[in-house]
Copies of this chain bind each other. A is one copy, B any other.
Amino acid sequence: MASKERILRLKDETRTNILAASIAIVKEEGWQALSMRKIADKIEYTAPIIYEYFSNKDAILNELTREGFVKLAKLMEIAISEHSDPAKQLEAMWLAYWNFAFAEKELYQVMYGVEMNCCAMANTCSDTQITMNMLWDKIEEIIPAEKRTEEYVDTKYYTFWSVVHGLISINMTRKSTSDELNKQVLKDAITGIISSMR
């Protein structure tokens, strides 16, 4: 009787173990090192066993993504509960989002498709720099002389870059949003930041 429950509990446990082993491997060696055989090794089984719990590797990644979103939602609820003013709440929520991204870096990566793969973007090659410098210089030019410190230019530069790159990569990973909305957000952000500079 109860043995059935025990078995079910055990099955559930190895399912959890698979996920835990996966995230552990990723934390140790990065996403590109995650393989079915390595997971199997860690849970002391052979690879085909995993397919009785997940239909394929993507299913594991999907489940980790789901767990990531659940965790994030919980953190946001906490953030809300710690303030009463809505504006403060919103700010705390975004801060929670930010902190989550770095506290659970690996989860954030699989949730939002950041880097994961290839070449590590090591590229500090000169060509990478050119574009940056062009933008940086132009921003510096616009900022009135009395405000023009390196720090200030840096801040504005990163703000620009973040909003534009963010909008782009959000659009690339989930392609739902309308072009109208994108252009709107983009224009708003650009003109907003520009006007804030002077």
Assess A181 versus B154: contact at CB under 8 Å? Given A69-B130, A162-B189: yes
A158 & B168 in contact (Cβ 8 Å cutoff): no
Say yes or no: is A84 at the interface (Cβ < 8 Å to chain B). no
Give chain B nearest CB distance to A116 CB in angstroms: 4
> Assembly of this chain: how many copies?
2
Q: Tell me if A49 counts as interface (CB < 8 A to partner B).
A: no
Residues of B within 8 A of A53 (CB): none
Segment of A4-12, A15-23, A39-47, A101-109 engaged in the interface with chain B: A101-109
Residue of B nearest to A115 (CB): B113
Asked whether A50 is an interface residue with its Cβ less than 8 Å from the other chain, the reply is no
Residues in B neighbouring A158, C-beta threshold 8 A: 167, 170, 177, 181-182, 185
Instruction: Contact check, B112 vs A113: say whether CB atoms are below 8 A apart.
Output: no
| Shortest Cβ distance from residue A152 to the other chain B in the assembled complex, whole angstroms | 10
The CA of A110 and the CA of B169, in the complex, are separated in Å by: 12
A36 at the A/B interface (Cβ < 8 Å)? Answer: no
Interface size on A, residues (CB 8 A): 85
CB proximity of A109 to chain B, nearest CB, Å = 7
A123 within 8 A of B: yes
List the B residue with the shortest CB-CB distance to A181. B154
CA distance A168 to B87 in the complex (A): 22
Given contacts A93-B135, A159-B188, whether A194 and B121 have CB atoms under 8 Å apart is: no
A51 in the interface, Cβ–Cβ < 8 Å? no
Closest 3 CB pairs of A and B: A166-B166, A162-B166, A113-B115
Besides the known contacts A65-B128, A117-B117, A155-B184, 9 further A-B residue pairs in the complex with CB atoms under 8 A apart: A58-B119, A72-B131, A73-B127, A80-B134, A102-B171, A110-B118, A117-B118, A162-B167, A192-B192
